[in-house]
Every structure is written in structure tokens, then in C-alpha cells.
Structure 1
């Protein structure tokens, strides 16, 4: 079986970056869920090609360094995306990368969405900004996304964030492999009838 190629777009602008950390953890969760399938991961750090993106927007020609990254995205079997949220939307640097992608580069490509922000108030940006963007590009957007606010990285919330990341990875792996959804356990499937405990109390 051929290796599964996973492109990871991370648009954090600082070093270190919580956006990069989220991208790495989403990637790790996806790779673990795809096991034992061999996965080749190619990370596209937008920060590293920021100047090349500006030049490409102005001239229409990508530098060799940027072209390698564009090819990695275009040829990937699936894509993980992580962007910081500014003013209730994705970063301008991230949008520049999307703008220079070839037409239909992401059509029918599964995409897992991740985003970071200072507060949970920005979480709706995933649904009102990121999802419409990738729907417009024709991508197969995963239904489960992850937004991580600053407080989510704290000791009390890190466990919950980890659970959300693992769930997103499992869901995304099922999407890209066409696996059926795991059977749900009905908590009310085996319930003692209401009349049973009362039967012994009758006199």
C-alpha cells in the first residue's frame, strides 16, 4: 500500500507558536488514528515563506522555495490546517497562501480545521470564516474541528483540549479512509423497567 501523504499548514507568526503546537498535535492524533498505515507528513510553515508570498501576490510567480510547499499541498491526500484568529477571522498571511494556490488545488481533498485565539469568543470564526473558505475551494471539510483559546493550554483545561484533539484525529482518519462511524452505545439500552423495583415493595 502506498504511503498516505498528509500536508500540514500552520500559519502562526510567533516562535514558538501555539498555532504550530495545535497543528502538530492534530497531526499526531491523525497519524495515530491512521495506524498501521504509513503516513508521510509535510509541514508548510507559512511564516517561513511570508516574503515569498508577498512577492508572488505582486508578481504572479512563486519562488522555488514557495513552489515546493504549494506542490506539497496540491499533491497531498489530505490537509491539516491551523491558523491564528485575528479580528474574528483567519490571518491575512494564511489567506495569502490560499490565494496563491492553484485553481482547484484542494477540490475533493479532505481538510481538518484547527484555529487558535486569545479567548473563546473567537471560536465561531471556525464556522463563519474557515468553513466557508474551504467549502468555496471545494474541499471536503471535516465536521469535527478544534479551536484552542489561550486558557485551553492551562493545566486544568489541557486534558479537555487533548480529548478534543484526539476525537478530531479519529474522526478525520475515518473520513479519509471511508471507515464507518463507530457504533454508539445507547446508555438506555439496558435499563431496569420502572415496575421491577416496585414489584418487591408491593404487599
Structure 2
């Protein structure tokens, strides 16, 4: 039997292997988990936050679920954001990251309220956050736009925000790249404080 180690693969082949391994794996936000009965050996109940959006793969999977289906988690990782504990924070999320943003706000410990930019294609999708108490009207910006306009809309808002120390953001890949570079080069927010992530790729979506 021939075993090929990731360690000795080229960068290109290692990425191909990872993509193949994770092809049908999706990341979701586990908002709460518990044991159904006190004597159970493991945690077997929970709330998984899935924002269904159009005909995405995640939405199709969620819509096919029925009562009694068993969901197995292959891996679990705590979503820690220690850089957000101090300083003036900026949070940005489009529909794909709404659950993650909600989780961050739910356990907010920074004494300063963050600036928040919420992006969606449809105004109705903004209703997801109607019960989040931390959303201060004066510091929350709601953006309705097609995905290709995300970076332009976000940058126009950032031009009017004076102080930003730390960032967590998750939205479309190309837009995230543009905003991340702006925050680094124009606002001098260093890498460890500038967690601007790509959650999905518009080019890949157009090619499917």
C-alpha cells in the first residue's frame, strides 16, 4: 500500500488534496449544544445556525433535512476572536456570515460597541438581525447590493468612519481582498488585528 503524506506534496498538489477531502464538508455556526439527558455520554443536541440563501449548496442541504435526520460533526473548533476584546472594532458580514456575526455579537465583551456593516442582496434578508440588541442604529450600516458591488459600498462607508482598531469581516472573496488591503494600507491595521476573510467566491458561483 502506498501512502502519500501531505507534508511532502507540492503546494499545488496539497491544495488539490485538501479540496478533494473537504469537497462535501461545510462549516456552520453551532450556537448552542447540550446533552438531552444528564446521563448521556456525549453532547447530542444543539442549535446549528444556517442562513439559507438562494440555491447555494448549503441551502439545498438544509432544505432537504427532515425530522429525525442525524447530523454528524467531523470536527469542531471554537470561534475565538481575542483581538476584538479591546479597541474600536469594525464588523462586516454578508449573508453567508450572518450566523458567525450573530455569534460574535451574542458574546460581545468589548466595552465599546462595534461599527457594523451588514450586507445582503435583498432587503428582506436583513431581518435576520432584527432581534440582536447590540445593533446601535448610529453605528450600524445596512447595505443592499449585488455581490459584485460589495467592496465599493463598504469602502464608501469606511471613508466616513474615523477610528478603527480591530476588524472581523467575512464576505465575497474579491471584495474582501479589496477591503482588507484598504484597511491595511490606508488605515494601518496590522494583520493580527485585520481578520478580513473570504467566505465565498463570486467567480466560482458564476461557473457552477
TM-score by length of 2: 0.32
Which structure is richer in relative contact order (CA contacts within 8 A, separation 6 or more)?
Answer: 1
TM-score by length of 1: 0.33
| Structure of higher CA gyration radius | 1
Higher helix share: 1
